[in-house]
């Protein structure tokens, strides 16, 4: 299969020209995407977006909950799960998005994600999850 050309070549993103985060492709390929709950994904992508070049940011929980429309318990659970899975570090109000852990054997799908499968047994799309969060 040939690689498709950019649709709008004059708008290709260049990491050297911007101050934006990125998502390592291995977040998908190593199964983190499909093992994460919607609040975990939302918080992780938010932290990627606001982090500096070292992955560090310091938004407080009230602002994060307000921006992401998360209840405090959902935020705390998502933050703790991301820390437990070594995707982020959190200490005294400072976050760091970490490089992905070394690849391990695929972990079982968490119960919170298992519940997000649709009737056909497939996982929902990120778009569907985001729409659920906003409703």
Q: pLDDT by residue (tens digit) across 14-62?
A: 667 666 677 888 999 999 999 999 999 999 999 999 998 888 999 999 9
pTM for the whole thing? 0.69
- The fraction of the chain above a pLDDT of 70, given in percent, is 71
Q: What is the pLDDT of residue 23?
A: 84
Six token digits for residue 17:
């020209």
Confidence of residue 9 (pLDDT cuts 50, 70, 90): confident
Confidence of residue 135 (pLDDT cuts 50, 70, 90): low
- 54 and 96 Cβ atoms separated by less than 8 Å: yes
- 112 and 73 Cβ atoms separated by less than 8 Å: no
**Maximal C-alpha separation, the chain:** 48
Q: What is the CATH number of domain 24-129?
A: 1.10.10.10
Q: What is the pLDDT of residue 124?
A: 54
**Burial letters for 17-34: b for 16+ Cβ neighbours within 10 Å, e otherwise?**
eeeebeeeeebeebbbbe
Q: What is the pLDDT of residue 22?
A: 77
Mean pLDDT of 86-112: 76
Indicate the length of the chain as a whole number: 135
């Amino acid at each position: 299969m040939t690689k498709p050309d950019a649709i709008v070549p004059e708008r290709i993103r260049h990491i050297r020209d911007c101050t934006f985060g990125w998502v390592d492709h291995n977040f998908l390929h190593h199964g983190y995407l499909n093992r994460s709950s919607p609040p975990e994904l939302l918080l992780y992508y938010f932290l990627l977006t606001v982090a500096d070049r070292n992955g560090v940011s310091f938004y407080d929980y009230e602002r994060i909950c307000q921006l992401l429309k998360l209840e405090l318990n959902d935020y705390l659970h998502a933050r703790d799960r991301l820390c437990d899975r070594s995707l982020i570090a959190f200490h005294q109000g400072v976050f760091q998005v970490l490089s992905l852990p070394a690849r391990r054997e695929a972990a079982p799908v968490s119960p919170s994600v298992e519940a997000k499968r649709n009737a056909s047994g497939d996982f929902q799309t990120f778009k569907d999850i985001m729409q659920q969060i906003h409703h």
